């Protein structure tokens, strides 16, 4: 009968197995999620890995709010934003990647105030890979800097209202345009009391609506000034904030609410926003753009994505 060879002592000693065991542990980490669950959420993990890389490179925390077309900033965004801020220590520098077509300015004020309060006197940057329009632009004003490139755009902050025409069609109107029409016809009647056309046109404008719209315009102006003095212009005089807010509200300069305000426009001395421009070919911008493209593919119609290295919430927006 053949006798089994006796193993060498060096093969069975704890020291002999240590290197092999360490290699296995390093190569195959203990799974914390099932393979199927990881496969289902692979795209999310890919995005969060990029966020971690961005944080390591910049030494700043990084959070994202990305909205699909047709979704507006609203009060329901508060709860997911609280999750975004959940594990962020107060008083630390923060970057917020923002993509939105705008929405409720009262909700926008609450969101940027939440973020600004958490950051405190540290530096808040808002990164706009594509666009942050209307109420999104108002949020940008509360940052210390806005990071932009050639694809980035902000927008005018003149408030909008949806009214029905004679056929029941709901049409978006500029509040400032309504007020301009009222002022124009009022002035015309003062100059020519018998002007029938001015009388007819003025008769179509409701005085109560005019009062409401005037209050809404003042609200937008004050919101912009407050955010600027708390953010980009906090080391400057309030007169600069007033001038910048007025310029962003000017419907004569920005002839449509969707008109693009580029990084160059934002730096115009009459606006004077603090813009960090990144070359679109730079490694830093390419990293932002890669993340943004993945996030835009993740959101379906009427969805919003709230994401960080710790949180990833894909929320369905309510029907309008």
Residue 162 counted as domain residue: no
In a domain, 231, yes or no: no
More confident residue, 172 or 26: 172
Beta bridge mates, 237: none
Q: pLDDT of 156-208, one tens digit each?
A: 999 887 766 667 777 777 888 888 888 888 888 888 888 888 888 888 888 88
Any domain includes 47? no
Q: The domain containing residue 116 runs over which residues?
A: 58-155+260-316
At residue 236, the pLDDT reads 83
pLDDT for 37: 87
Query: Looking at residue 10, what is its pLDDT?
Result: 46
Q: Quick count: other Cβ atoms within 10 Å of Cβ 201?
A: 16
CA atoms within 13 A on the CB side of 140: 38
Segment 226-242, tens digit of pLDDT: 999 999 998 887 779 99
Question: Average pLDDT of the chain?
Answer: 88
Looking at residue 12, its pLDDT comes to: 46
User: What mean pLDDT comes out for the span 259-272?
Assistant: 96
Work out the percent of the chain whose per-residue pLDDT is above 90.
Answer: 62
Residue 110 has pLDDT above 50, yes or no: yes
308 is written with which tokens?
A: 């960080």
Q: What is the pLDDT of residue 17?
A: 56
Residues in the chain: 320
Q: Predicted confidence band at 225 (pLDDT cuts at 50, 70, 90)?
A: very high
Domain count, the chain: 1
pLDDT at 265 over 50: yes
Residue 73 DSSP one-character state: B
Q: Is residue 50 part of a domain?
A: no
pLDDT tier, 31 (very low <50, low <70, confident <90, very high otherwise):
low
Residue 210 has pLDDT above 70, yes or no: yes
The answer to whether the predicted template modeling score (pTM) of the entire model surpasses 0.85 is no
Q: Among 15-19, 53-57, 128-132, which is the least confidently predicted range?
A: 15-19
Residue 304 is assigned to a structural domain of this protein: yes
The 10s digit of each residue's pLDDT in 272-304 is 999 999 999 999 999 999 999 999 999 998 999
pLDDT class for 220, splitting at 50, 70, 90? very high
* Residues with Cβ within 8 Å of residue 139, at least 6 apart in sequence: 73, 98, 100, 108, 111, 112, 126, 132, 227
In-domain check, residue 236 = no
The pLDDT, as a whole number, for residue 63 is: 98
Residue 35 vs residues 18, 30, 42, 48, 52: alpha-carbon distances, Å: 28, 12, 10, 18, 22
Phi and psi torsions of 161, nearest 5°: -135, 145
Helices (H), 147-271: 175-191, 196-203, 207-230, 238-249, 263-266
Assigned domain for 279 exists: yes
Q: Which has the higher per-residue pLDDT, 8 or 295?
A: 295
- Decide which of 14 and 38 is more confident: 38
Compute the average pLDDT of residues 125-137: 97
55 pLDDT tier (thresholds 50, 70, 90): very high
Q: What is the CATH number of the domain that holds 271?
A: 3.90.226
Residue 184 included in any domain: no
């Amino acid at each position: 009968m053949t006798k089994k060879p006796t193993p060498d002592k060096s093969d069975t000693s704890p020291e002999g197995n240590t290197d092999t065991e360490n290699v296995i542990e390093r190569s195959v980490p203990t799974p914390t999620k099932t393979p199927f669950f990881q496969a289902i959420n692979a795209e999310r993990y890919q995005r969060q890995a990029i966020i971690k890389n961005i944080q390591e490179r910049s030494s700043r925390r990084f959070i994202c709010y990305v909205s699909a077309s047709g979704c507006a900033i609203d009060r329901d965004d508060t709860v997911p934003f609280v999750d975004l801020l959940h594990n962020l220590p107060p008083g630390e520098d923060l970057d917020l990647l923002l993509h939105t077509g705008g929405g409720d300015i009262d909700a926008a004020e609450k969101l940027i105030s939440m973020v600004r309060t958490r950051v405190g006197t540290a530096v808040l940057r808002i990164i706009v890979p594509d666009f942050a329009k209307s109420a999104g632009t108002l949020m940008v004003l509360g940052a210390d800097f806005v990071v932009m490139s050639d694809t980035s755009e902000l927008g005018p902050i003149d408030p909008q209202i949806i009214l029905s025409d004679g056929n029941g069609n709901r049409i978006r109107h500029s509040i400032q345009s309504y007020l301009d029409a009222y002022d124009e016809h009022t002035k015309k009647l003062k100059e020519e009391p018998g002007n029938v056309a001015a009388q007819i046109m003025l008769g179509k404008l409701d005085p109560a609506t005019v009062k409401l719209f005037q209050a809404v315009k003042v609200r937008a102006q004050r919101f912009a000034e407050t955010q600027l003095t708390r953010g980009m212009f906090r080391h400057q005089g309030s007169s600069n904030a007033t001038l910048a807010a007025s310029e962003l509200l000017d419907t004569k300069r920005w002839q449509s609410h969707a008109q693009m305000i580029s990084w160059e426009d934002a730096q115009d001395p009459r606006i004077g926003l603090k813009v960090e421009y990144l070359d679109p070919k730079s490694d830093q911008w390419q990293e932002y753009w890669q993340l943004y493209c993945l996030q835009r593919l993740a959101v379906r119609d009427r969805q919003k994505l709230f994401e960080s290295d710790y949180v990833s919430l894909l929320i369905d927006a309510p029907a309008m």
